[in-house]
Amino acid sequence: MIIITASLHSLFTETLSEKGIAYNYQPGISYQALLPLMKDATGLVVSTHIKVDSNLIDHAPNLQWIGRLGSGMEHIDTAYAAGKNIRCHSSPEGNCNAVAELAIGSLLSLLRNIHLSQAEVKQSIWQREKNRGTELGGKTLGIIGFGNTGSSFAKLLQSFDVRVLVYDKYKPDASEYGVISASLSTIKKECDIISFHLPLTNETAYFADSVFLDEVEKNPLIINTSRGSVVDTRALIEALNAGKISGAVLDVLENENLNHLSAKEKKDFNDLIQDPRVIITPHIAGYTKEATYKMSKILLEKIGFL
């Protein structure tokens, strides 16, 4: 029995049906409701809302594999799973282009005041000079993390006449799509825009902290489409207020459950949404119809069903 807790493309369930493989499709199921189902599970498909910890794994004596729809394995105890001979697969190749497209779209909206001027026009306000924007062409853009999404972002930037610097601790000689491998200090010194494409690990949590943001030299615009905790929210707000950075594109937040924010998180959130230099989207960078199909197909291939 395969337990599916994520909304995926019908290709996945149709393929299972064709092969006579039983499945239980429960997108959005809670952790507690999932536990009693795990006793019969041979496979488990998850997205971000289920934490696959040792307790969940111990409830699944027959589990052979865990499939992550999307990228990032921080909510899966992969080491514990490996100790139980359980294979873990993810499908970051499936939504990397979608993430890159949203990053560029939001970046252009911020640079050209599209988000602000469109809201004004809806109020019958027609202001051209106030909304004079800045072009992306000719800028130096730093990409931190050059995996699937970082490289997809660089690929889409090729037509914008942008100088792209890349820092990746585990890929020091990146040369795809005309990018230039650079040190972190060079990116802080030379970049007009810095975009984060990092998984969330002990190394990357609060990567962009107050020290990082204080060391940037060109008042860059910050993009984060990776994980909310890669950027220290309060440090970002303080950098905006101090003029150290010129704006931010955020598709992710440290706490994305807006109904359960602490007093501090509420203040931070209000500060962000009231700042015209900030664009926030609700973690939709990887959410497209095409990405849903591609991630489902890639997961099927990696598991061995295609």
Residues serving a catalytic function are 227, 256, 283
- Which residues 6+ apart lie within 8 Å of 217 measured at CB? 188, 189, 190
Would you say 179 and 166 are in contact if contact means Cβ atoms under 8 Å apart? Answer: yes
CA-to-CA distance for 124 and 126, rounded, in angstroms? 6
Q: Which residues of 144-153 are buried (b: 16+ CB within 10 A; e: fewer)?
A: bbbbbbbbbb
Identify residue 76 by its one-letter amino acid code. I
CA-to-CA distance for 151 and 92, rounded, in angstroms? 12
Q: Which of 76-85's residues contact partners 24+ apart within 8 Å by CB, and which partners?
A: 76/46, 76/51, 76/52, 77/52, 77/53, 80/53, 80/54, 81/52, 81/57, 84/57
CA-to-CA distance for 234 and 220, rounded, in angstroms? 17
CA-to-CA distance for 135 and 123, rounded, in angstroms? 26
